[in-house]
Amino acid sequence: MIERYGEYTRIFYRNVEWTADILYPIIYLFFFGLAISWLFERGFSANSPMRKLNVMPVGAFVSDLLENLTIVTLLSIFPSQPIALGWLLFIFTTLKWIFAFASIALMLVGLAMALKNGFKKQAQ
């Protein structure tokens, strides 16, 4: 796919991945993490193991950064196209979406439990 891009497009895409596309993972890391924490505080007791799952968005964040790094590397070394980097890109992208969808699912679970408890903070 990279071969279809012109040199200008490859440079532009690489710069976007290295700069602007860093902001989105930071934003959803904090949004998902804080939303899960807030909802789970109202949905589960303080000693519930569920409360520890608020770190799930960190997996999406790290996977997204590794995905971006792999894309930047592939764009930078073009026309070389190492198969191993292609597989790494596939793995990081897949992991990112698994963690992202798991984070959304956790928010929905937290919302359901918080609704059930009237959005009141749960004690021990």
Residues 38-68 have pLDDT tens digits of 999 999 999 999 999 999 999 999 999 999 9
Longest dimension (CA), the chain: 60
What domain count does the chain have? Answer: 1
Instruction: Please report the pLDDT score of residue 122 as a whole number.
Output: 94
54 assigned to some structural domain: yes
| Domain of 13, in residue numbers | 2-116
Instruction: Please report the pLDDT score of residue 69 as a whole number.
Output: 95
122 assigned to some structural domain: no
Instruction: Please report the pLDDT score of residue 8 as a whole number.
Output: 80
For residue 14, what is the enclosing H or E element? Answer: helix 7-18
Instruction: Please report the pLDDT score of residue 14 as a whole number.
Output: 86
123 assigned to some structural domain: no
Q: How many residues does the chain have?
A: 124
124 assigned to some structural domain: no
C-beta separation of 17 from 71 below 8 A? yes
C-beta separation of 62 from 70 below 8 A? no
74 assigned to some structural domain: yes
51 assigned to some structural domain: yes
17 assigned to some structural domain: yes
Instruction: Please report the pLDDT score of residue 18 as a whole number.
Output: 83
Instruction: Please report the pLDDT score of residue 103 as a whole number.
Output: 99
In this prediction the pTM is 0.89
Burial label for 113, CB within 10 Å (0-12, 13-18, 19+), is middle
CA distance linking residue 81 with residue 70, whole number of Å: 12
Instruction: Please report the pLDDT score of residue 15 as a whole number.
Output: 87
Joined together, the tokens standing for residue 89 give 């890109």
Name residues of the chain where pLDDT drops below 70.
none
